[in-house]
């Protein structure tokens, strides 16, 4: 089976009241860990690549690794550009075999976001590729852009219909309380989703797939594990998984998770070196790190996304 489009995936997710996990990939072990979990649970999958990942591993390596995962698992896997900043990177990924791209115009003024998104949609659709747009700004760090909590803004439901109609996007990322990275909420802040905004948006866009970014929950056992072996991640917390699971049953069809995988992988590697300080074969510490990613993804598929047995 070749790489698949997200169109059919999202239609099934919307009708079936679950979400598909979109996990960020940077190297072979991450791709293997994620796809092993999805294969064992028969779950559809979106593997996504940021500009930073393309810079780190190169476009060709990542595409070939993802193609290898498709060949090994036979799963429906879509390959997606995460946070495309401009037309050029979207074009390059469309020409380079991706089946979906995100054009993130959320930092621009509304009319500029519409114009940029529309331009990408026209090019992408001419090549059979799906497009995710974004309205509203999440707090946190993505690529080199750092949005402070003060500058973050919830999506305005009154804009969504106009945006979708004028741009022709296939899915829409919205800001309803999630944020990027591991440092999401300060002590005293309550991590919660604005279900009222999600409901309002869903009512204005019947049948239309909604995307949540910044959906790592930063499980405390992994923060503690990283810190226990010499790390220093202070007081990080995310939106509880139960709230994300509720959103997955609503109009949310794609949930982006990266930081939780990074935490799981790094916690495993730190533990390994604390226990085996003189080992130096990368396979020795990357194999358990890959297993940690697999277990985290399996946990998300069952407890957050609800997409097990939906491939």
Binding mask 121-150 for ligand G3H (x = CB under 6 A): ---------------------xx-------
Binder among 54, 213, 270, 290 for Zn ion (CB under 5 A): 213
Q: Which residues bind ligand 13P (CB under 6 A)?
A: 24, 82-83, 180-181, 213-216, 256-260
Strands 45-49 and 171-174: unpaired
Strands 45-49 and 77-84: parallel
Residue whose pair of structure tokens reads 């590697």 in the numeric block: 269
Q: Which of 172, 174, 305 is nearest to 241 (CA)?
A: 305
β-partners of residue 135 are 174
By CB under 5 A, residue 184 contacts Zn ion: no
Residue 82 annotated as catalytic:
yes
Q: Decide which of ligand 13P, ligand G3H, Zn ion, none touches 96; Cβ closer than 5 to 8 Å per partner kind.
A: none
Kindly give, in sequence order, each residue whose CB lies less than 8 Å from that of residue 208, ignoring residues fewer than 6 positions away: 14, 164, 171, 172, 202, 251
Q: What is the DSSP letter of 53?
A: H
The Cα 107–Cα 115 span in angstroms is: 13
Residue among 167 and 178 whose Cβ is closer to Zn ion: 178
User: What x-and-dash track marks residues 233-272 binding ligand G3H by CB under 6 A?
Assistant: -------------------------x--------------
- The encoded tokens of residue 111 equal 């009319």
Segment contacting ligand G3H by CB under 6 A, of 49-57, 108-116, 187-195, 228-236: 49-57
What is the nearest approach in angstroms of Zn ion to the Cβ of residue 51? 12
**Which residue in the list 15, 82, 281, 295 is annotated as catalytic?**
82
Q: Evaluate whether 301 touches 43 at the Cβ level (below 8 Å).
A: yes
Residue choice 6, 10, 24, 178 for contact with ligand G3H (CB under 6 A): 24
**Closest approach of Cβ 107 to ligand G3H, in Å?**
13
Which lies closer to ligand G3H via its Cβ, residue 30 or residue 116?
30
Enumerate residues 6+ apart whose C-beta is below 8 A from 290: 29, 30, 32, 33, 36
SS3 state of residue 209: coil
Positions in the binding site for ligand G3H (CB under 6 A):
24, 50, 52-53, 82-83, 142-143, 180, 258
Positions in the binding site for Zn ion (CB under 5 A):
213, 256
Q: Which residues are catalytic?
A: 82
């Amino acid at each position: 089976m070749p790489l698949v489009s997200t169109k059919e995936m999202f239609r099934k997710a919307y009708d079936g009241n679950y979400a598909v996990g979109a996990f960020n990939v940077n190297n072979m072990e991450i791709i293997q860990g994620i796809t092993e979990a999805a294969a064992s649970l028969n779950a559809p999958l979106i593997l996504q690549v940021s500009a930073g990942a393309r810079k780190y591993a190169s476009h060709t390596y990542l595409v070939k690794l993802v193609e290898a995962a498709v060949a090994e698992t036979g799963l429906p896997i879509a390959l997606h550009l995460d946070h495309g900043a401009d037309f050029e990177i979207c074009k390059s990924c469309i020409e380079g075999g991706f089946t979906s791209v995100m054009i993130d115009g959320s930092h621009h003024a509304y009319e500029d976001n519409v114009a940029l998104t529309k331009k990408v949609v026209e090019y992408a659709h001419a090549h059979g590729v799906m497009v995710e747009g974004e309205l509203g700004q999440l707090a946190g760090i993505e690529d080199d852009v750092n949005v402070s909590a003060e500058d973050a803004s919830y999506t305005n439901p009154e804009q969504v219909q106009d945006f979708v109609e004028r741009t022709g996007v296939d899915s829409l990322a919205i800001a309803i309380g999630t944020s990027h990275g591991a440092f999401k909420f300060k002590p005293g802040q309550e991590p919660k989703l604005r279900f009222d905004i999600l409901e309002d948006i869903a009512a204005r866009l019947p049948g239309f797939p909604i995307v949540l970014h910044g959906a790592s929950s930063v499980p405390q056992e992994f923060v503690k594990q990283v810190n226990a072996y010499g790390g220093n991640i202070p007081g990080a917390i995310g939106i509880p998984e139960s709230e994300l699971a509720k959103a997955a049953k609503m109009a949310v069809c794609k949930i982006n998770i990266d930081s939780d995988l990074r935490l799981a992988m790094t916690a495993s590697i730190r533990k390994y070196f604390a226990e085996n300080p003189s080992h130096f074969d990368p396979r020795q510490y990357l194999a358990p790190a890959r297993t940690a990613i697999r277990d985290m993804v399996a946990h998300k598929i069952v407890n957050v996304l609800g997409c097990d047995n939906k491939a």
